Structure 1
């Protein structure tokens, strides 16, 4: 279960246009899928670090 980053209430997982987002019924607002975005950023950062190390060797 995901919790709202603004108020810490449980959020509802929603799907629209082939994308996942979360809805907080307390704030009555859509929230992005932060867990997925953080995972993506972590993977991108790891890939960038690997590429930088490769170029350092050249």
Structure 2
């Protein structure tokens, strides 16, 4: 888990406009991503899940 560099509170991961950011509910601030390699892996995984969800939703409507 990622902790806020200011207050050590657990950060919340958010997605907005195809980008990921971390949010600290204690500081009420967005925090920068510190590990870009993990970001790429997460985006690939997220895109794959969304694509699979869209295809499964389309198949359900066609049935």
The one-character-per-residue Cα deviations of 1:10-50 (angstroms, maximum 9, x if unpaired) are 000000111110000010100111122xx5xxxxxxxxxxx
Give aligned pairs, total: 37
SS in 1 for 2:35: helix
Is 1:17 matched up with 2:49? Answer: no
> Which structure has the bigger radius of gyration?
1
Unaligned runs of 5+ in 1: 40-58
TM-score with structure 1 length normalisation?
0.58
Cα distance between partner residues in 2 of 1:35 and 1:5: 14
User: In the alignment, which residue of structure 1 is the partner of 2:32?
Assistant: 32
TM normalised by structure 2 equals 0.53
